Amino acid sequence: MAKSDKTQNPAKGDVQEPGRRDFFVVATYAMAGLGAAAVAWPLIDQLNPAADTLALANIEVDVSKIAVGQSITVKWRGKPVFIRHRTADEIARANATDITGLRDPQDDVARAEKPEYLVLVGVCTHLGCVPLGQKTGEVRGDYDGWFCPCHGSHYDTSGRIRKGPAPTNLEVPPHNYLSDSVIRIG
Amino acid sequence: MSAEKFQNPVVRWIDHRLPVFSMLDHEKYDYPVPKNLNYMWNFGVLAGMALAIMIVTGIVLAMSYTAHVDYAFESVERIMRDVNHGWLIRYIHMNTASFFFIVVYIHILRGLYYGSYKAPRELLWILGVVIFLLMMATAFMGYVLPWGQMSFWGATVITNLFSAIPIVGDSIVTLLWGGFSVDNATLNRFFSLHYLLPFVISGVVVLHIVALHRFGSNNPIGIDASGPQDTISFHPYYTIKDMVGIAVFLLLLAMTVFFFPNAMGHPDNYIPANALQTPAHIVPEWYFLPFYAILRAVPDKLGGVLLMFGAIAVLFILPWLDKSPVRSARFRPLFRIFFWLFLIDAILLGYLGGKPAEGIYVTLSRIATAWYFLHFLVILPLLSMFETTKPLPKSISEPVLGSSGRSA
Amino acid sequence: MLKRIFAAMLACTLAGPAMAASGNVELQRRDWSFSGPFGTFDKAAMQRGFQAYREVCAGCHSLELIAFRNFADLGYNEAEIKAIAAQYDVQDGPNDDGEMFMRPGIAADRIPSPYLNENAARAGNNGALPPDLSLITKARANGPDYLFSLLAGYKEAPEGVTVPEGMHYNAAYPGNLIAMPQPLYGEDVTYSDGANNSVEAISSDLVQFLMWAAEPKMEVRKRIGVAAVFFLSIFLIFSYLAKRRIWADVH
């Protein structure tokens, strides 16, 4: 039996493995490594959003039907997007605020391309809850914007954080106007 | 276990506590391998590689697959169209399944030819047959998942095999289905088991390798190594030789995946499953065809099913059917002839399995089926009693140095 | 019960091929631009094929797996895709009143199907179901040749063959009797690029388009394939030479 007379193997005693410095041997193992690395990419890349998901990465919203003072919520990339048709009073208050004392100072004009329409990602920057204030009758917080019920963050009429634990203002998603009334988000 | 052989202090520190490096080293350098293994001995490693490819691509596919009758077909097409590189991963999975069977069939045939199933490797062989059975179950359930016409009708026909069992047959089939036909419940459990079984296979593979390392590889001469002059270390000799086999395997796989990805599939599986319409000509995947031919060769339902399972069961008792002390067919002239006849018979069965069960094909299927069992149950026992074998060489080194030249 | 299913299935296995064999199936073999390891799609032909699908086939046959955004593969740019999509009405909803409503299509939408469901499709076609065409070239043996032969295969029934009411004689269809009326007579479509619009030319364009629909990743697959085979060939040569070197001292 091979096992019974187990002895020193000839190759093991050799100091030098045969072929260790040979070009073809090194190249073969290098290519094997390279091939394995190349194969890894598709396996990782498949985790990225698929083509049908990416196709819905941009949406177009017609805002002409939103009455003054009303808001709509649309779904964009799996998250709620708030679009509020602000009243003149709301716009005035957003502009009148002295931003120097704010936690995340930002001018209202930098947040709304057209002051009538404010577009926000409706996710509280604290821990990801959806703030209240979209529907009439909902709590809007101390600054008449949005109020997050989870941990009590108050946002103003420009979606800026004014009170509570949230570190930054409500995010303004990338968007642009395709026409006077159609906004492309994303 | 002297840790001094490692120069890297980190390796030494780890190895002292968890001797993985020593074990690896042991496999690489201390495990004696007969020096005369030919390329037929590549197929064990290749099978392991195929299993690894199947598991990796399968796990990835499961991330985008939906196991529901209403969504399964479309989710597979979404993988083919929208998921990044999804088409590549799915085609690799599909075709590697076929390649896995090609490799395993050659692996089994090598074992048959060189008598690798004989003492003291009977359990090694039996574990191999267990792996083969598990593979067939896994492949069958995997084929159901895309929920095409062949998926559905294949599942219906194969599960109906169990209805042949007297008295409890129908209850068993209902149990397998989880309903009154192949439906959503069936698809869900098949997905669950299809995900599970490869890991069971991996476990049995580990046992298979443990059993292999107990006595080491058989070899083309079929005699045991008589000393260090007959063996060499696994690394670098067989690592590089396996690398050649892997290169050929991957090259053929790549040609299939990239240029003929559907050649081994069936067009009907690109038609969504329809429980009200059977395709004109249902056939299982090609690797089941020999067994399918045996099933159809018998005019009796129960008989056909028993014979089909018997065709695999007979492999379990093979070590006790062929009692010849000589392993390798090289020294068994008659056995060698019958081996090739058996191979022709098996290929013929595969061909017949893909043909309609009518006319001459039925007759041929019956003859081929009879020969299949005759080979194992009659010819092999008789051969081991009456065959005059050629004289065996004294050691592995002798014929290697002799006239046969470089056999490796 | 189960035994009967089983028996019926075995009978189908027996009867199926016999049925297929009863009619002469004539396949015309053609050289397609997408055949072979370097094959590519013909973009102009695919655009024409889409037009032909839309004007001839789409009345009955759906193309469920194709979204308008996929037409980038045909060579259309974003604006053109948007315009094509907008020509279709797509059902969406429910709106705030709980009603489903129609709106113009967008690039992310799939091509709407001509029928609401399978029963409606059957009801509209004398009980025969016009199959979805998304995968048709892969769902038939020798798909592209078969499809071409089928479209160009309508003939007078040979003597002795009676064609039942509602059926049509086709040389390429298994069994020769097909429920689909002859779709192409030549000049069915007027191409803006002035291309040939004979039955053969339109059929060929449709095959190009539908082959793409079934296998949209074919070009990238073959491209990667050539590189992979090249890489692995070198790997094979190197590993073989390396093996020779390492084994040189054995024996």
Q: Strand, helix or coil at C92?
A: strand
Mention every residue, 6+ apart, whose C-beta is less than 8 A from residue B298: B304, B307, B366, B369
CB pairs A-B closer than 8 Å: 85
Please give, rounded to a whole number of angstroms, the shortest distance from the CA of B133 to a CA of chain A.
29
Confidence of residue C6 (pLDDT cuts 50, 70, 90): very low
CATH number for A110: 2.102.10.10
Amino acid identity of B384?
S
The pLDDT value given to residue A99: 87
Q: E strands within B152-274?
A: 231-233
The pLDDT value given to residue B402: 45
The average confidence (pLDDT) of chain C is 88
Q: What is the DSSP string of chain A?
A: -TTTT----HHHH-SSPTTTT-HHHHHHHHHHHHHHHHHHHHHHHTTSPPHHHHHTSSEEEE-TTPPTT-EEEEEETTEEEEEEE--HHHHHHHHHS-GGGSSS---GGGT-SSTTEEEEE-S-TTTSPPPB-SSTTS--TTTEEEEETTTTEEEETTS-EEESS--SPPPPPPEEESSSSEEEE-
Mention every residue, 6+ apart, whose C-beta is less than 8 A from residue B175: none
- Identify the CA nearest to B389 among candidates B332, B338, B319, B328: B332
A169 secondary structure, DSSP code: P
User: Which residue shows structure tokens 């009405």?
Assistant: C89
Q: Is residue C186 part of a domain?
A: yes
Cα–Cα distance measured from residue B143 to residue B159, given in angstroms and rounded to the nearest whole number: 13
Give the tokens for residue A148. 């997050």
Q: Is C239 an 8 Å CB contact of chain B?
A: yes
Confidence of residue C24 (pLDDT cuts 50, 70, 90): low
- Identify the CA nearest to C249 among candidates B236, B338, A87: B236
Element (H, E) at B313: helix B301-316
Q: Is residue C181 part of a domain?
A: yes
**Model confidence pLDDT, tens digit, residues C61-87:** 999 999 999 999 999 999 999 999 999
Element (H, E) at B202: helix B184-215
Burial category of C4 from C-beta neighbours within 10 Å (exposed 0-12, middle 13-18, buried 19 and up):
exposed
- Identify the CA nearest to C217 among candidates C98, C16, C70, C30: C70
Instruction: List active site positions of A.
Output: 151
Q: Where are the alpha helices (DSSP H) in B114-183?
A: 122-144, 149-160, 169-177
More confident residue, C180 or B402: C180
Domain shared by A90 and A173, yes or no? yes
CB B101, CB B139: distance < 8 Å = yes
**Model confidence pLDDT, tens digit, residues A48-85:** 999 999 998 888 888 988 999 899 999 898 899 999 99
Q: Is B165 an 8 Å CB contact of chain C?
A: no
The pLDDT value given to residue A8: 41
List the chains bordering chain B where 3 or more Cβ pairs fall under 8 Å.
A, C
The pLDDT value given to residue B401: 46
| Residue A95 burial (CB count, 10 A) | 15
The pLDDT value given to residue A14: 45
Cα–Cα distance measured from residue C29 to residue B69, given in angstroms and rounded to the nearest whole number: 37
Cα–Cα distance measured from residue B49 to residue B317, given in angstroms and rounded to the nearest whole number: 28
Provide mean pLDDT across the span C126-138: 94
Amino acid identity of B133?
L
CB A183, CB A58: distance < 8 Å = no
Domain shared by C210 and C248, yes or no? no
Cα–Cα distance measured from residue C174 to residue C146, given in angstroms and rounded to the nearest whole number: 10
CB B33, CB B233: distance < 8 Å = yes
Confidence of residue A135 (pLDDT cuts 50, 70, 90): confident
Give the tokens for residue C96. 């705030």
Residues from chain B that touch A17, judged by Cβ atoms under 8 A, are 235-236
Q: Where are the alpha helices (DSSP H) in chain C?
A: 2-22, 43-52, 78-86, 118-123, 143-151, 199-214, 218-247
The pLDDT value given to residue A98: 87
Confidence of residue A20 (pLDDT cuts 50, 70, 90): low
Domain shared by C155 and C210, yes or no? yes
**Model confidence pLDDT, tens digit, residues B144-174:** 999 999 999 999 999 998 999 999 999 999 9
Q: Is residue C148 part of a domain?
A: yes
Q: Nearest CB to A31: which of C69, C235, C249?
A: C235
Domain shared by C177 and C155, yes or no? yes
Q: Is residue A166 part of a domain?
A: yes
Give the tokens for residue C85. 């999509």
Q: Nearest CB to C246: which of A25, A52, A60?
A: A25
Cα–Cα distance measured from residue A66 to residue A79, given in angstroms and rounded to the nearest whole number: 20
Show the CA angle centred on residue C13, arms to residues C8 and C17, nearest 5°.
135
Task: Give the count of alpha carbons within 13 A of C149, CB side only.
Answer: 22
Domain shared by C129 and C236, yes or no? no
Cα–Cα distance measured from residue C248 to residue B236, given in angstroms and rounded to the nearest whole number: 12
Q: Is residue A87 part of a domain?
A: yes
How many domains does one find in chain C?
A: 2
Bridge partner list, A148: A153
Domain shared by C239 and C141, yes or no? no
Q: Is residue C7 part of a domain?
A: no
Domain shared by C136 and C228, yes or no? no
* Backbone torsions φ then ψ of A79, nearest 5 degrees: -125, 155
Task: Give the count of alpha carbons within 13 A of C222, CB side only.
Answer: 15
Residues from chain C that touch B99, judged by Cβ atoms under 8 A, are none
Q: Is B258 an 8 Å CB contact of chain C?
A: yes
Task: For strands C89-92 and C101-104, give the pairing.
Answer: antiparallel
CATH of the domain spanning B26-274: 1.20.810.10
Active-site annotation holds for B171 = no
Domain shared by C29 and C61, yes or no? yes
* Backbone torsions φ then ψ of B69, nearest 5 degrees: -55, -30
Provide mean pLDDT across the span C24-47: 91
How many domains does one find in chain A?
A: 2
The pLDDT value given to residue A138: 87
Active-site annotation holds for B355 = no
Bridge partner list, B231: B34
Please indicate whether, in this complex, the C-beta atoms of B160 and C6 are within 8 angstroms of each other: yes
Q: Is residue C202 part of a domain?
A: yes
Q: Is B233 an 8 Å CB contact of chain A?
A: yes
Domain shared by C200 and C243, yes or no? no
Task: For strands C177-178 and C168-169, give the pairing.
Answer: antiparallel
CB C49, CB C210: distance < 8 Å = yes
The pLDDT value given to residue C165: 87
What radius of gyration do chain A's Cα atoms show? Answer: 30
pLDDT over 60 (residue A10): no
Q: Nearest CB to A22: which of C108, C231, C245?
A: C245
* Cis previous bond, C17, omega within 30: no
Burial category of A41 from C-beta neighbours within 10 Å (exposed 0-12, middle 13-18, buried 19 and up):
exposed
Please indicate whether, in this complex, the C-beta atoms of A17 and B60 are within 8 angstroms of each other: no
Q: Is A98 an 8 Å CB contact of chain B?
A: no
Q: Is residue A113 part of a domain?
A: yes
Q: Where are the alpha helices (DSSP H) in chain A?
A: 10-13, 23-45, 51-55, 88-96
A174 secondary structure, DSSP code: P
The pLDDT value given to residue A6: 38
Dihedral sign, Cα of residue C20, residue C26, residue C29, residue C32: negative
List the single range of A108-117, B288-297, C15-24, C131-140 with lowest mean pLDDT. C15-24
Q: Is C118 an 8 Å CB contact of chain B?
A: no
Q: Nearest CB to B267: which of C134, C139, C232?
A: C139
- Identify the CA nearest to B133 among candidates B265, B249, B291, B340: B291
pLDDT over 70 (residue B366): yes
CATH of the domain spanning B283-387: 1.10.287
| Residue B198 burial (CB count, 10 A) | 20
Please indicate whether, in this complex, the C-beta atoms of A25 and B240 are within 8 angstroms of each other: yes
| Residue C160 burial (CB count, 10 A) | 5
Cα–Cα distance measured from residue C179 to residue B113, given in angstroms and rounded to the nearest whole number: 55
Q: Which of C38, C135, C140 best tests the B interface by mutation, with the highest count of B CBs <10 A?
A: C135
Domain shared by C169 and C212, yes or no? yes
- Identify the CA nearest to B249 among candidates B83, B42, B26: B42
More confident residue, A116 or C95: A116
Q: Which residue of C has its CA nearest to A53?
A: C108
Q: Which of A46, A47, A54 best tests the B interface by mutation, with the highest count of B CBs <10 A?
A: A46
C71 secondary structure, DSSP code: G
Domain shared by C167 and C239, yes or no? no
Active-site annotation holds for B241 = yes
The pLDDT value given to residue B399: 60
Give the dihedral of Cα atoms B114, B119, B122, B123; nearest 10 deg.
-130
pLDDT over 80 (residue B406): no
ipTM over 0.85? The verdict is yes
Q: What residue segments make up the domains of chain B, in order of their start?
A: 26-274, 283-387
Q: Which domain holds residue C250?
A: 217-251
Distance in Å from the first CA to the final CA of chain A: 72
Q: Which domain holds residue A35?
A: 17-48
Q: Is residue A12 part of a domain?
A: no
Active-site annotation holds for B285 = yes
Amino acid identity of C214?
A
Mention every residue, 6+ apart, whose C-beta is less than 8 A from residue B277: B149
List the single range of B252-266, B328-342, B390-404 with lowest mean pLDDT. B390-404
The pLDDT value given to residue A180: 87
Domain shared by A112 and A138, yes or no? yes
Domain shared by C203 and C241, yes or no? no
Q: Is residue C10 part of a domain?
A: no
Q: Nearest CB to C247: which of B237, B246, B257?
A: B237
More confident residue, B408 or B244: B244
**Model confidence pLDDT, tens digit, residues B189-209:** 999 999 999 999 999 999 999
Dihedral sign, Cα of residue B315, residue B316, residue B317, residue B321: positive
Give the tokens for residue C17. 């091929």
Please indicate whether, in this complex, the C-beta atoms of B270 and C224 are within 8 angstroms of each other: no
pLDDT over 90 (residue B4): no
Give the tokens for residue A20. 């260790």
Please give, rounded to a whole number of angstroms, the shortest distance from the CA of A57 to a CA of chain B.
14
Q: Is residue C62 part of a domain?
A: yes
Active-site residue identified among B5, B16, B85, B213: B213
User: Which residue shows structure tokens 């005019």?
Assistant: B299
Domain shared by C174 and C204, yes or no? yes
pLDDT over 80 (residue C23): no
